[in-house]
């Protein structure tokens, strides 16, 4: 049987946080680089990074909601 590389939710959360930091660094580089050929290119790059970062923020929010739900259900069981 072939083994699959499964990523745990904790590992995925770590990867998402790392990716968000990378995207923020890319955004900062864009802001620091004042030699853009055109304003449209600058705006396009910023919009792209914001959209991708939004996907990762949504995923991170799902992890947070999931952990809160888990904590609430375990505290309800302890009553």
The predicted-structure confidence for 6-49, as pLDDT tens digits, reads as follows 878 889 999 999 999 999 999 999 888 878 778 898 899 999 99
In this structure, the number of other CB atoms found within 10 A of the CB of residue 23 comes to 19
**What pLDDT is recorded for position 79?**
57
Residue 76 clears pLDDT 70, i.e. is over it:
no
* 65 part of a folded domain: yes
- Examine residue 58 and state whether it is found in any structural domain, yes or no: yes
Q: How far apart are CA 76 and CA 79, in angstroms?
A: 6
pLDDT of amino acid 24:
95
Q: Do 66 and 9 meet the contact criterion of CB atoms below 8 Å apart? A: yes
Q: Where are the beta strands (DSSP E) in 1-79?
A: none
The pLDDT of residue 68 is 77
d(CA 28, CA 60): 21
pLDDT at 35: 81
Residue span of the structural domain in which 46 resides: 37-72
d(Cα 46, Cα 31) in Å, to the nearest integer?
A: 9
Instruction: Report the number of distinct structural domains present in the chain.
Output: 1
Residue 53 has pLDDT above 80, yes or no: yes
Q: Is residue 44 part of a domain?
A: yes
Please tell me which residue, 4 or 28, carries the higher pLDDT value: 28
């Amino acid at each position: 049987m072939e083994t699959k590389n499964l990523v745990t939710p904790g590992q995925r959360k770590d990867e998402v946080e790392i990716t968000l930091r990378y995207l923020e660094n890319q955004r900062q580089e864009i802001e620091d680089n004042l030699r853009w050929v055109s304003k449209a290119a600058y705006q396009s790059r910023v919009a792209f990074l914001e959209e991708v970062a939004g996907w990762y923020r949504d995923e991170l929010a799902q992890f947070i909601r999931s952990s809160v739900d888990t904590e609430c259900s375990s505290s309800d069981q302890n009553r």
